[in-house]
Amino acid sequence: IVFGDWSSDVCSSDLGNLTNLVEVEGQPEHGNNVTDNDTENVTALEATIDVNKTADRSVAKNGTVVNFTIVVTNAGVADLDPVVVTDTLPTCFEYLSSTFNGSESGGVVTWNLGRLNSSDSRIIALSAMVNCSGAGVVTNLVEVEGEPEHGDNVTDKDTAEIGRAHV
């Protein structure tokens, strides 16, 4: 008797209901070969995550507070746990506050959203103050990563651009 664990990678084009077939053959010391087979139906679930970031203004001057809204959506059919969001503030932005237990360190704000079921969304907010002068455009990056029960982690990112007004 042979026992073991086997695994297989599933291509994204092979998602849905799948049939796993195993066939075995043995050669006894005497007599004919023996064979057997068995099948097991499994469901391969697609894991996908989306993040969308917006700012409440497109231009800000030194001392202006900018409020960002971040929407994280589990766009797949596989539940994700955990889901972690990381927002890297531009160097001339000073962190003020965030919702959903966001924690800031060195200009990077991190949220652990925990479990995000299929088709669920979370809306989180971040407030930062422009702390520099001069004209130009700064880009604020947000990244999200979700871990499905099986398979590779899924990621997405988005940016919001803020023009700095020279005053």
Sign of the CA dihedral 49, 55, 59, 60? negative
97's enclosing H/E stretch is: strand 93-98
**Could you report the per-residue pLDDT of 144-158, keeping only the tens digit for each?**
999 999 889 999 999
Instruction: Note the pLDDT of residue 15.
Output: 58
pTM above 0.85, yes or no: no
- Is pLDDT above 70 for 12? no
Which token pair is 2? 């042979």
42: which residues sit within 8 A by CB, 6+ positions away?
A: 17, 18, 19, 20
Which token pair is 44? 């391969």
What is the distance in angstroms between the CA of the first residue and the CA of the last residue of the chain? 80
**Could you report the per-residue pLDDT of 45-70, keeping only the tens digit for each?**
689 999 999 999 999 999 999 999 99
Which token pair is 88? 């890297």
Instruction: Note the pLDDT of residue 28.
Output: 86
Helix, strand, or coil here: 40?
A: strand
**Could you report the per-residue pLDDT of 68-118, keeping only the tens digit for each?**
999 999 999 999 999 999 999 999 999 999 999 999 999 999 999 999 999
Query: Are 62 and 166 within 8 A, CB to CB?
Result: no
Which token pair is 59? 């231009």
- Could you tell me which residues are beta bridge partners of residue 61? none
